Structure 1
């Protein structure tokens, strides 16, 4: 006990890093748009897009290990009956509305998709979609909460 008396004992907790929810939503949207841009560029070039990420699994001994696995990425663009390409931004499982009843961007040709993604990434960085992202995240949070 004489060794512990030489130390200054106190009650302390580490400070939690508080990240602004708007900044977090922006970062998530930028990461998603960047991934969509990479997928579009691969499709234009005629290559396969196969991103990987680290997952944790249990091995045969029951130990947790990290393994690299293919990441499932859903394509955000679609074509209509006439062959026009449209892109719909989704966040928290819901399509984002850019204006009243306007939830998609008309791209026209698939070759124009990377430029649209660049424009959207700059719009997100400038904060032009903050209100839509916050609303979508709040709705998602309400859906995930268990009723009391």
Structure 2
């Protein structure tokens, strides 16, 4: 054996080798968490853009049918991102969490988080992201998802 082959064999002995199969797709609960985490990221970017005096305009693809030719093609269009936060009557910043078009009920009868001031918004969104990643909002996400899905049943 050459020294290069010996070195590569030694490198493999330092790795932990396991017999594992990659799953075909992520579990539904993980997909929902990732979707909400992506929306939280959009809120952070929207806030940063507003603070900098710029606009945050992510894009998405939409299928458009050409009126003359009837050809369907994908076009990139700006995506509208609405802020989840607002200033309440007491002057403090409040925020709700949206999953799709539904506002999540974070605790029994409570849909909003009192952030306090604008400086606390990004740390609050970071805490929220951690809670979602840890699975703390799985029940609320599941409820909102089922509610949205029930609106599609029977429609064709």
How big is the shift at 1:144? 2.2
Q: How many residues align?
A: 131
In the alignment, is the contact (CA less than 8 A) between 1:55 and 1:68 conserved in 2?
yes
Report the counterpart of residue 111 of structure 2 in structure 1. 103
How big is the shift at 1:18? 4.9
Deviating 4+ runs (over 6 angstroms) = none
Which of 10, 20, 33 is the matching residue for 1:26? 33
How big is the shift at 1:143? 2.5
Change (3 A) 1:42 1:141: same
Change (3 A) 1:92 1:54: closer
Distance 1:35 1:53 in 2: 13
Q: Normalised by the size of structure 1, how large is the TM-score?
A: 0.79
Matches within 5 A, 1:64-79: 64-79=72-87
In the alignment, is the contact (CA less than 8 A) between 1:44 and 1:110 conserved in 2?
no
Residues 64-101 of structure 1: CA deviation (Å, up to 9, x unaligned):
22222111112111111232111100114222122111
Report the counterpart of residue 96 of structure 2 in structure 1. 88
Matched, 1:52 2:70: no
Q: Normalised by the size of structure 2, how large is the TM-score?
A: 0.75
Distance 1:55 1:143 in 2: 22
* Structure with larger RCO (C-alpha < 8 A, sep 6+): 1
Matched, 1:145 2:137: no
Report the counterpart of residue 142 of structure 2 in structure 1. 134
| Partner SS, residue 144 of structure 1 | coil
Residues 28-61 of structure 1: CA deviation (Å, up to 9, x unaligned):
1011111111001111122112221222213343
Cα RMSD, aligned residues only: 1.8
Report the counterpart of residue 47 of structure 2 in structure 1. 40
Report which stretch shifted further, 59-68 or 86-95.
59-68
